[in-house]
Structure 1
Amino acid sequence: MTKIAEFRLTKYNSLLINLAALTSMTLVLVLLLVLEGKSATLAYIEKFYYSDQILPLVITLLVVVIMHEAIHGMIYLIFGAKLKFGISQLNIYTMDVSGNLYTISQMAIIMLLPFFALTGLLIATGILFSDLAFCMIIGIICNVSGSTGDILLLAYIFHKKKLCKGKIFRIKDEKHGFGLYVQ
């Protein structure tokens, strides 16, 4: 296999990913404000503040981040990975250190499952436990914004794959990034 491209989580790339995540979070919050109206949104915040739900919110956000990475890890393990978790350039990551090469379909599952599964779980939890609905909404917003980097990286992979028509295309996790290979 021949390496044709790579992505490294440099300070610059990290800044771009984090700005994209903050932008997506801001857009979702603005959308919520527009859909619910200013008074309803402020009422949610006031009710939330005065009903001692700050601790549940902090716990929700922590659980969302941990579960997001755990879902990545679970899928990696299904595909035979040896895992490493870490933090680099203000980004939390899960990576395979086994040297396995992944198809684009496998990588799409690895990268997108936390977005879909965790968002669905948070919606179901918000419906079942209506007192925690606001925490779950914030958890969904956190998960969506946290998935922004996964989505952007997958878009990069699809773009590079498109340039390699007719060739076997594989993705390999590498230190602080990934390599793209063809045969």
Structure 2
Amino acid sequence: RERVERESAESERAEQARAERERAEARPRDEEEARARADREERARVEAEQREAEEARRCVEEQQRAQAEREAAAQAAAVARRRKAQVTAFLKENGFAKGAAGPKKSLLKTTYPLHAAAKSGNATMVELLLQEGANPAQVNSAGKTAAQVAQKANKSNSHSGVIRTLASAAPAIQRAAGGA
């Protein structure tokens, strides 16, 4: 009976020792797994922060781009309003009632706003009328284009600005019409 108790105690001690060895062997493995898990969690946290920062940066850039577009559109609208006001004043002052491309007819004569601006040497108004849709290739009742009218009125290069403006508009008209 003593022997059985001794063997039982030894067996129990051996079992405890084996369990202790297993725990000792498992401890570094558990610690390594815990470190690996902590590393994965840290990487995931850092990646999430980077994604959030990138998304915030993109959002700010999008807001800035949208603001710049709104400002550019507002500025373009203001320029267009000023241009239209100047053209309207010129048309009214010179008796043109049908817009930037519309003719003014008298009994024997037909002229256009672009021809009137070219004849007066007003390069700024010529440019504005072109922007408003006046056709530089349009001929008046005498068969002359606005460039020809400006050339005829050109004394000592007084109309050179108008001639240059109309010359730069002519290639654009030719390209739009499919010419060379």
Higher helix share: 2
Q: TM-score, normalised by structure 2?
A: 0.28
Q: Which structure's CA Rg is the greater one?
A: 2
